[in-house]
Chains A and B, each alone.
Chain A
Amino acid sequence: MSLIRVEHVGKSFASRHGTMTIMQDISFEVKDSDFLAIVGPSGCGKSTLLRLIQGLDQPTSGQISFRDQPVRGVCSQMAMVFQSFALYPWLTVSQNVAFGLEALGWPKERIGPQVERYVTVTGLDGFQEAYPRELSGGMRQRVGLARALAVEPAVLLMDEPFSALDPLTAASLRDEVLQLWRDPQLPPDAVLLVSHNIEEAIELADRVIVFSRRPGHILAEVPVDLPRPRDRKSEAFYNLTDRVYSLITEGGQTPAPPTAAAEAPPRDG
């Protein structure tokens, strides 16, 4: 079943130097139980697209629909995980996790158990009353994840969720996200991940959508049918990675060595 359908979506902004086109003619589909990744160079509009899908902003052209209904306004069936965690420093872990539920108008008696459940699922037990600034980066992103999952979204939108973490923490958190997605008892049904880290995308996703440089358009949709857990050192993994790299470098007309692209560029707005 199709969850999200993106049809010929384009986005441009009026700037001082005229109209700036961020992306054009983007079409793809997110199906039930998909794990989809979008990769591309910085500034190609990946993060903007994520915000269009959630309904935070409207596309200039084309249409985005969720379960065959056009997305108008913020869609509560999706939840976002942010690169910078976006936790409220004045709220405790529990209060941050309850944030979305309050906005949905859940009654207090139901919020409590729901928060407990997702605090446990994300491994935050014992930190309920802690404030974000008392937590490590990895723990903070767990709070971000718990906050998104607590509203039981059909689709989890992840905007560079592991980029601000150290490599070891990122690796273990990736595993946990994968487990959550595969657990049929738990949300979400589908995950849409935006990343500039090609290895990360191939390790996690069923399909990888490759964006070009700005104005962003889709260069290719690469299916990843490697068995899980995926071994980054295997030849098949390497070949796939190599293919995506060459797609990006050729599509962008500015060849860059793969090693350089693997480094973390500045966050893409």
Chain B
Amino acid sequence: MNEGTGSVASPPTHGPDAKSSRHLPSPWRSAAIYLAIPIVAGAALSASVGFSVAGIAVYLPTAGLDVFYSFLRMGAAYLLSLGFALAYGYYAATHRPGERVMIPILDILQSIPILGFFPVVIVLLLGFPTAGSWIGPNIASVVLIFTSMSWNMVFGVYESLKTLPAELKEAADTFALRGWLRFRRVLFPATINRLVYNSVLSWTGGWFFLVEAEIFTTNSHALAGIGSFLSFAASGHNGNEFLAGITVLVLVIAVLDFVVWRPLGRWAERFRYDQSPSGEAGAIEAPRDTSGRFRRAAAYVTRGVRTGVTRISTPLVQLASITVGAGRAPSERRRTATYYVGLGTILVIVWLMLIAIVVSVYGVFSGPIVPSVRSQIFGLPFAMGASIVRVVAAYALCLAIALPLAMWVARRPRANRVGLPVIEVIASFPATALFPVIIFELVPYISPEGAAILMLLTGMLWYLFFNLLSGIRALPPDLEEAARAFGLKGRQFVRRVLLPGVFPALITGSITAFGGGWNTLIVAEYLSAGPGKTLSLLGIGQRIDIGYAEPNGYPLMVAALFTLILTVITINELIWKPLYRRAVERYRYD
């Protein structure tokens, strides 16, 4: 696969429409959008909660301080991720024996839903060094943000070193360039382009998980930060306070975008190494539209999740095909009813074994399990089922929104010019920051179930949208022209040309969107902030939360985690892998 310029990774620069001088230049447009968000949000909120400028201003200093704390956590997690990505990626790319172990480990780590790390990390670190200390919760939240930031960055480093053209390495060899100079002149610059694009994405995702982590920990432990600030404000129905938090958060995100990420993205363009040897004579590249960086960044993480799904061969499923398909050639081994029955049996056995391990380990260290917890553990499959239904419902909604939206943006210059920057700015805003409002203000109108699905939607939508957008844009124009020449129009065009054409992008987008969905479950299904203010819906995320919050609940939490991971792996293996293979085999047009 041609990395970096793969099917989803190279959105074309904004076409001729970008020249139009009547419109604001891109940075100003984005700035306007950034400012518009709090205003629009404020107007929308004013209906249900009263607010005033003076009222907001009162809370600004506290909000500023809390955002600053959050920013410090983000910065620490980012620096950790950067160092980890460079060290791990460099070692894996340059040491063959290490690579064989390190890359599969990374594949597994990134296919585990990030929320899976949450409770474990918190339980391990909260009491550190003593119960009630501020050190433990802070380390825990930094570690959590780190887990959401680092995997794609590691792959960025690893893949850019692996795909570095052989001649560039050889040229360094001919001059016997070694050690530090080789790293500084050749290897490190080679990683910069993808490292920067992955950083944009990690940082955006980092806000999402930072807020989630802070909300999650506030359930029982106060951790000063913007997530807990917003959560607290919403639980008190304090619109002014909430808006102050949102305003400061948007401001910080916007400033970082303009001061750090945009200039970095422009600078990183220099480090791309896909120049063709034949060299289109005098090809001076048009200045790239930096606002496309979020799309590209999304494409990078998508590739990460997709390889995580497709590269890992699950022992479980292989076991099923060996036991059921024994005696037949592997190519003939068709997935029959027996296969699924066999697989189902194995899944149940593996699940029971995991539960048994959890129960007995707990039994050894802490004693027998409380009856109420035990019954909840055995109810886990139902909780999982409820969560699957919820995620699938949210996914269906996402598709219904993302596909028309992507078609509209991709095919209309004006939508592309005006709509896309708005969408990109909205997408860079952590939706988790609005969760408290959804829970405390919207539940009465849309029911708890509706609120949960709405929250899931925000965690899934963008992956699908940006993938579909790239997919539609990557459709070769001649296919479209040919369809038009044959008079294909409307629904026929969509069915025969557009949908098959974007099928690979749809699959990769769906894989990533589901990944995002699993990650959002933990907040979407259970949130408590004081008496009578609890959102609690039967689901696996809820069980993890309950297990975490209740005394003696840890075995429930760990069992729920195992159940979730087992489910995610099985879904990847049974649904996404075959679909992805099919997308690659049949619907490629390059």
Contact = CB atoms under 8 A, between A and B. Distances in A.
| A-B interaction | yes
Interface residues of A, number: 37
Nearest to B173: A56
Contact of B271 (A56, A90, A140, A151): A90
Contact of A103 (B175, B275, B283): B175
Contacts of A54: 174
A258 interface: no
B273 interface: yes
Interface stretch (A129-137, A202-210, A219-227): A129-137
Contact of B186 (A56, A88, A133): A88
Interface string A96-118: 00011011100000000000000
B275 A99 contact: no
A91 interface: yes
B171 interface: yes
Contacts of A103: 172, 175-178, 181
Contact of B175 (A83, A99, A138, A166): A99
Given A82-B167, A90-B192, 10 more contacts: A80-B170, A84-B167, A88-B171, A88-B185, A91-B189, A103-B172, A103-B177, A133-B284, A133-B285, A166-B281
A76 interface: yes
A89 interface: yes
A137 B271 CA distance: 19
29 contacts: A56-B173, A74-B174, A76-B175, A83-B167, A84-B167, A85-B167, A86-B167, A86-B170, A88-B273, A89-B272, A89-B275, A90-B190, A90-B270, A90-B273, A91-B185, A102-B185, A103-B172, A103-B176, A103-B177, A133-B275, A133-B283, A133-B284, A133-B285, A134-B284, A136-B279, A137-B277, A137-B281, A140-B279, A164-B279
Interface in B181-207: 181, 185-186, 189-190, 192
B268 to A, nearest CB: 10
Interface string A217-259: 0000000000000000000000000000000000000000000
Nearest to B167: A86
User: Which 7 pairs from chain A and chain B are nearest by CB?
Assistant: A137-B279, A84-B277, A86-B167, A86-B171, A103-B175, A100-B175, A90-B189
Interface in A108-155: 131-138, 140, 147, 151
Given A86-B170, A104-B175, A135 B279 contact: yes
Nearest to B184: A102
Interface in B205-219: none
Nearest to A79: B174
B168 interface: yes
A100 B178 CA distance: 11
A118 to B, nearest CB: 14
B195 to A, nearest CB: 13
A136 B284 CA distance: 9
B477 interface: no
A242 B275 CA distance: 37
Given A86-B168, A90-B192, A73 B176 contact: yes
B278 interface: yes
A82 B173 contact: no
Contacts of B192: 90
B165 interface: yes
Nearest to A166: B281
Contact of B170 (A79, A82, A138): A82
Contacts of B186: 88
Contacts of B176: 73-74, 76, 103
Interface residues of B, number: 31
B276 to A, nearest CB: 9
Contact of A88 (B168, B173, B174, B283): B168
Main secondary structure of the interface of A (DSSP, over half): loop
B283 A56 contact: no
Interface of B: 165, 167-168, 170-178, 181, 185-186, 189-190, 192, 270-273, 275, 277-279, 281-285
Contacts of A164: 277-279
Q: Among the interface residues B272, B273, B275, B283, which one has the most CB atoms of the partner chain A within 10 A?
A: B275
A56 B174 contact: yes
Contacts of B270: 89-90, 131
Contacts of A102: 177, 181, 185
Contacts of B173: 56, 74
Contacts of B189: 88, 90-91
Nearest to B192: A90
A132 B275 contact: yes
Contacts of A51: 170
Nearest to B285: A133
Contacts of A82: 167, 170-171
Contacts of A78: 174
Contacts of A147: 171
B186 to A, nearest CB: 7
A80 B171 contact: yes
Nearest to B182: A103
Nearest to B188: A90
Nearest to A85: B277
A47 to B, nearest CB: 10
A141 B125 CA distance: 57
Nearest to A144: B171
Contacts of B285: 133
Q: Among the interface residues B174, B278, B283, B285, which one has the most CB atoms of the partner chain A within 10 A?
A: B174
A78 B174 CA distance: 8
A90 B192 CA distance: 10
Contacts of B185: 88, 91, 99, 102
A196 to B, nearest CB: 16
Contacts of A100: 174-175
Q: Among the interface residues B165, B168, B171, B172, which one has the most CB atoms of the partner chain A within 10 A?
A: B171
Contacts of B277: 83-85, 137, 164
Nearest to B178: A103
A82 B165 CA distance: 12
Contacts of A91: 185, 189
Contacts of A132: 275
Given A90-B189, A103-B176, A103-B181, A136 B278 contact: no
A137 B190 CA distance: 21
A49 B40 CA distance: 69
Contacts of A83: 167, 277
B557 to A, nearest CB: 47
A74 B174 CA distance: 6
A166 B279 CA distance: 10
Interface in A42-82: 51, 54, 56, 73-74, 76, 78-80, 82
A134 B285 CA distance: 7
A78 B176 CA distance: 11
Nearest to B284: A134
Nearest to B176: A74
Interface in A10-68: 51, 54, 56
A86 B165 contact: yes
A97 to B, nearest CB: 12
A80 B174 contact: yes
B161 to A, nearest CB: 14
